[in-house]
Chain A
Amino acid sequence: MNKGRRIRDGLALARALPDRSLVTMVAAMSLLASLTFTGAVGARSLSDRWAKGAANLVTVQVPDPDKATSAAGRGASAATRVQAVLANLEAAPAVMRAHRLDGAELDRLLRPWIGDVGTAALPLPAVIEVDLAPGQTLPDPLISTLKTEAPGTLIEKNDDWRAQLHAIADSLLWCAGLATLLVGVIGAAVIGMATRLGLGARRESVTILHELGASDGYVAGRFGRRVAGLSLVGGLVGTLVSLPPIAVLARLMAPLAGGGSAEMGNMHGWWGFFTESLSSLMQGSAPQALLIGLGCIPLVVTLIGWVTAQVIVRVWLRRLP
């Protein structure tokens, strides 16, 4: 007995299942899957980043900031309402930093609406940016204290923004998931059609093998191995082709996601930007989930090819007793 040896059985699948067409089609499907997957991971990481930022940033507006404070509390020693609010915020353990915007910062903030007139003459509230410690929120007793000491104080917690960002990110993920699934189904259909064509071309040989006692598993295995091999090559080609655009996309998204700069100034134009992006991707600058996912695409495509070929051939063989 010689179980593992491949035998000359006359199927000649290299001719029945030509490599070029199937590899090209699978490569195109893998390219689409890679780009879709990258889009999903990018959307997810951006929304996470933004949602995290929105959740940790609270804006506090104190009207009539320079009036005397109205209640006793932690900031009772403060002379004005804004000083009282700031003192209470800075004393809270959940708050990492509380910063009151100065006149210049307010001017910059409002320039789109009021132009270069300046804010000095306007009765504006004091605006305080509060950075919370990760995972922390402003406690309700603190909010009550702020509103007691400086009635009319407005606190914008950005929770709605975070919920909306998550909803958008989830929608994008669902769309990307559906698109990937669709690509997988179309890929399986393409592989299935190629397998059926191969079976049609070798109908006589397969029937003879069947009559000589070849099991369904043997014939399906021969087709499965050939299709899986071609799918692996197509998957690798498609994934490799997708890397340059993915690298550029990752580079462009880096500043939005809190990474490095995407500027081209010191990179000798587009080519420098492109090569720098690619080498940055190769060095693992992209999210780990993205790299693992891209690495899995050729393997998943191979599995789809093998399973599809096995099913198609076994169903076809059922016509024979």
Chain B
Amino acid sequence: MIRLRDVTWHHGAMPEDGQATLRNISFTVPQGGFRWLLGPSGAGKSTLLRLLHLEALPRSGEMDLLGTDIGPRVKRSALARLRQRIGLVPQDYRLMPTLSVADNVALPLRLQRRMEAEVAQEVDAILDWLGLSSRRNARPVTLSGGEQQRTAIARAVVVRPGLLLADEPTNALEDSQAERVIRMMRELADLGTTIIVATHNDTLVRRFPAPALHLRQGRLTVDE
């Protein structure tokens, strides 16, 4: 479960106009919940996802992620452990340029010190499912946009995270692949993963109805 209450975030000092990037954000998503995160460009969707991925910490308000209170006194080691339970599909993919597709996908498992046999099994399964088996030894720089996006998705879900955050995870995919990815995410949610997907793709939102979080100029409204 994730819970935010009156969370505010802004770059550096508070802007002079008092307009923080995220203002008084409050919402709750239960364990296994699936939410669309909608809003125009610049509304703060990516910033909210970065906040939920602990790449930034709230300036004020309360945030509870997967049972951990993200207060000012939270320990760095606790944040690191928590990040291992959160999968992120970033808009820019953020793949390790020096690693192959398979090693990129295996990285979160290896950071958790899983046995290599288990790592190989999990990686093979997810690469096969996302149609990347033939590209398993390729470097990210040789991949198409769609392949890079699928690799980022595979890396985010391979650990079966407690929370999955996806920032425009289908914008480089064909419609059929995009639907397949969202269907997989819905299945993950059914298995207990809490999921928030930021998108501009109205067709996809209509095709897979779910509660939505609407962000506009840093303010959030919840559409149940």
Contact = CB atoms under 8 A, between A and B. Distances in A.
A136 to B, nearest CB: 65
B80 A215 contact: yes
Interface residues of A, number: 25
Contacts of A211: 53, 55, 83, 88, 94
Interface in A197-219: 204-205, 208-218
A10, A212, A217 pick with most chain B CB within 10 angstroms? A212
B111 A209 contact: yes
B85, B95, B96 pick with most chain A CB within 10 angstroms? B96
Nearest to B104: A10
B114 A1 contact: yes
Nearest to A12: B98
Interface in A98-155: none
A217 B110 CA distance: 15
Contact of B113 (A2, A10, A12, A216): A2
Contacts of A209: 107, 111
Interface string A1-35: 11101011111100000000000000000000000
A216 B96 contact: no
B50 to A, nearest CB: 9
Contact of B94 (A12, A208, A215): A208
Contact of A213 (B81, B96, B98, B99): B81
A9 B108 CA distance: 9
A1, A2, A9, A213 pick with most chain B CB within 10 angstroms? A213
B196 to A, nearest CB: 16
Contacts of B99: 8-10
B43 interface: no
B83 A10 contact: no
Contact of B110 (A7, A12, A205): A7
B57, B86, B94, B104 pick with most chain A CB within 10 angstroms? B94
B111 A8 contact: no
B111 A213 contact: yes
A218 B54 contact: no
A197 to B, nearest CB: 17
A269 interface: no
A320 B88 CA distance: 17
A21 B125 CA distance: 43
A284 interface: no
Nearest to B116: A2
A17 to B, nearest CB: 14
A214 B81 CA distance: 8
Contacts of A213: 80-86, 108, 111-112
A265 interface: no
B144 interface: no
B120 interface: no
Given A216-B76, A321-B55, A321-B57, A208 B96 contact: yes
Task: Classify chain B's interface size.
Answer: 35 or more
What secondary structure prevails in chain A residues at the interface with B?
A: loop
B116 A212 contact: no
Nearest to A208: B94
B176 interface: no
B84 A212 contact: yes
B56 interface: yes
Nearest to B156: A212
Contact of A2 (B56, B79, B106, B114): B114
A134 to B, nearest CB: 61
A208 B79 CA distance: 15
A188 to B, nearest CB: 25
B10 to A, nearest CB: 15
B54 A7 contact: no
A12 B97 CA distance: 10
A1 B55 contact: no
B69 to A, nearest CB: 15
Contacts of B86: 213
Given A10-B96, A10-B98, A12-B98, A212 B55 contact: no
A321 B79 contact: yes
Contact of B77 (A1, A7, A8, A215): A215
B96 A205 contact: yes
A15 to B, nearest CB: 8
Contacts of B79: 321
Interface of B: 53-57, 76-77, 79-86, 88, 94-99, 103-104, 106-108, 110-116, 155
Q: Across chains A and B, which 7 residue pairs bring their CB atoms closest together, nearest first?
A: A213-B84, A10-B96, A213-B83, A7-B110, A10-B99, A215-B80, A10-B98
Interface of A: 1-3, 5, 7-12, 204-205, 208-218, 320-321
7 contacts: A1-B115, A2-B113, A8-B110, A211-B55, A212-B83, A212-B84, A216-B77
